[in-house]
């Protein structure tokens, strides 16, 4: 069994690449199902957020990397390998635990990634299994510990809050300003909360589903607007924040040119927090429109992370501890089929030798045969008890994989255990 994660993030690929590689939930599960049904992976989970797309997998036979690379390259329409990073085995767990804790985020310590990791795991449960289920479960635990026991999430630590802080600097304050939110998801709600806390006077929420826009607006004292009617409101607002799940831009030059022209010389700040992007790049070329996307938030976020950076070593220590516990559990699984095959092989030898001995002894009573068979089993169990216990213990204390491989070789178990699949349910382990 081998673990692998391959993907791209804000650290390796610009937004133009990331948006092409972003998965919707049904797309991710379909791709994982294809890899699993083809015998390439045994388990899989896809994590796709505004800043990363990653495929976590338990490999079935051989190297799955070429197949994952090909899958991402098809989405990109070009070779994706130049933007990819790959982690294997122990480093997979360490990487995921850091991602869930916000250590790998563009905005250090952001809270939203924890929920995004959980959602990705839940959406892919049909394609995952005991190895990845345990890893994601432990990652969420480790991330919660890191946030609770260190200051890694101190202060404004979200894409939305960083975006609002950028807008605040542009206008020199947001008191009395008017803003419109396009979208009604978690990122949009966080942005709305941040805007209102900065003194925005009028906040408008628009979404393709008016009921969701109205629910969000009602929770925060804002105004809901029908999606088709919102564009004219650009004549009056100072800030437009976009965070929808649309696969194509919804803020196009054709939709906003006339409302923007009607503004005269008043600036309009447009903040695009979506991936794929919500705003057509040409919108930024309109007079007095200032367009910022996720990659533009890097500099704005940098000023807010100094106090959180000092907590990185403590958070990494927690992650290392939880990752080690997880890997000990994985290594322990490797001993299970070996111990099983070891005992089965020894019992086969015992049965063969017992049959030979009984033939040589001649006629015996049923009670005598039962006594001899009981003796043979008891003796075998005595011989096997300590090696079985030590094999399991070694697998659980970090030395196990080498010991397990040695046991396979010494007792000629290679063919009997290498093809054994790990348990298929957590109850089996």
The rounded distance, in Å, linking the Cα atoms of 268 and 287 is 9
242 annotated active-site: no
Shortest CA distance to 187 belongs to which of 214, 155, 163? 163
- The number of CA neighbours under 13 Å toward the Cβ of 361 is 12
Distances (CA, A) of 401 to 283, 332, 347, 396, 421: 57, 9, 24, 9, 16
Shortest CA distance to 337 belongs to which of 416, 403, 425? 416
Q: Determine the longest span between alpha carbons in the chain, in angstroms.
A: 112
Task: State how far Cα 60 lies from the chain centre.
Answer: 20
Instruction: Give the pairing of strands 289-292 and 3-9.
Output: unpaired
At residue 59, φ and ψ (nearest 5 deg) are: -75, 145
The DSSP bridge partners found for residue 51 are: none
- What are 400-406's contacts with CB under 8 Å, separation 24+? 400/331, 400/332, 400/334, 400/335, 401/331, 401/334, 404/334, 404/335, 404/338
Please tell me which residue in 50, 230, 242, 269 is annotated as part of the active site. Answer: 50
Helix (H, G, I), strand (E, B) or coil at 377: helix
At residue 171, φ and ψ (nearest 5 deg) are: -90, -5
Annotated catalytic residues are 50
């Amino acid at each position: 069994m081998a673990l692998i994660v391959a993907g791209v993030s804000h650290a390796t690929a610009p937004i133009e690449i990331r948006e092409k590689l972003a998965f919707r939930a049904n797309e991710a599960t379909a791709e994982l199902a294809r890899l699993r049904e083809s015998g390439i992976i045994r388990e899989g989970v896809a994590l796709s957020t505004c800043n990363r797309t990653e495929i976590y997998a338990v490999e079935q036979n051989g190297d799955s990397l070429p197949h994952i690379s090909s899958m991402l390259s098809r989405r990109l329409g070009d070779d994706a390998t130049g933007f990819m990073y790959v982690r294997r085995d122990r480093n997979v767990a360490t990487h995921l635990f850091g991602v869930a804790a916000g250590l790998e985020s563009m905005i250090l310590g952001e809270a939203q990634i924890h929920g995004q990791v959980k959602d990705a795991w839940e959406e892919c449960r049909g394609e995952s299994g005991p190895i990845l289920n345990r890893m994601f479960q432990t990652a969420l635990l480790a991330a919660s510990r890191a946030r609770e026991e260190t200051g890694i999430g101190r202060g404004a630590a979200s894409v939305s809050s960083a975006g609002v802080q950028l807008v605040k600097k542009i206008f020199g304050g947001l008191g009395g300003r008017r803003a419109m939110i396009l979208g009604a998801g978690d990122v949009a709600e966080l942005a709305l909360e941040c805007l209102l806390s900065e003194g925005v006077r009028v906040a408008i929420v628009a979404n393709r589903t008016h009921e969701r826009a109205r629910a969000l607006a009602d929770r925060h004292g804002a105004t809901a607007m029908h999606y088709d009617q919102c564009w004219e409101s650009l004549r009056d607002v100072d800030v437009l924040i976009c965070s929808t799940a649309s696969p194509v831009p919804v803020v196009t030059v054709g939709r906003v040119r006339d409302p923007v022209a009607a503004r005269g010389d008043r600036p309009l700040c447009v903040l695009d927090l979506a991936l794929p992007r919500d705003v057509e790049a040409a919108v930024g070329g309109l007079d007095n429109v200032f367009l910022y996307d996720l990659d533009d938030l890097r500099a704005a976020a940098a000023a807010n992370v100094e106090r959180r950076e000092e907590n990185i070593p403590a958070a990494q220590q927690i992650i290392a501890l939880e990752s080690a516990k997880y890997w000990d559990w994985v290594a322990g699984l490797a001993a299970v089929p070996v111990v099983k095959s070891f005992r089965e092989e020894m019992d086969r030898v015992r049965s063969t030798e017992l049959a030979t001995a009984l033939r040589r002894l001649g006629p015996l009573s049923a009670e005598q045969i039962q006594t001899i068979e009981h003796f043979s089993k008891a003796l075998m169990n005595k011989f096997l008890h300590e090696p079985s216990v030590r094999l399991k213990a070694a697998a659980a204390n970090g030395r196990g994989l080498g010991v397990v491989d040695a046991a396979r070789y010494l007792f000629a178990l290679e063919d009997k255990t290498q093809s054994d699949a790990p348990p298929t349910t957590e109850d089996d382990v």
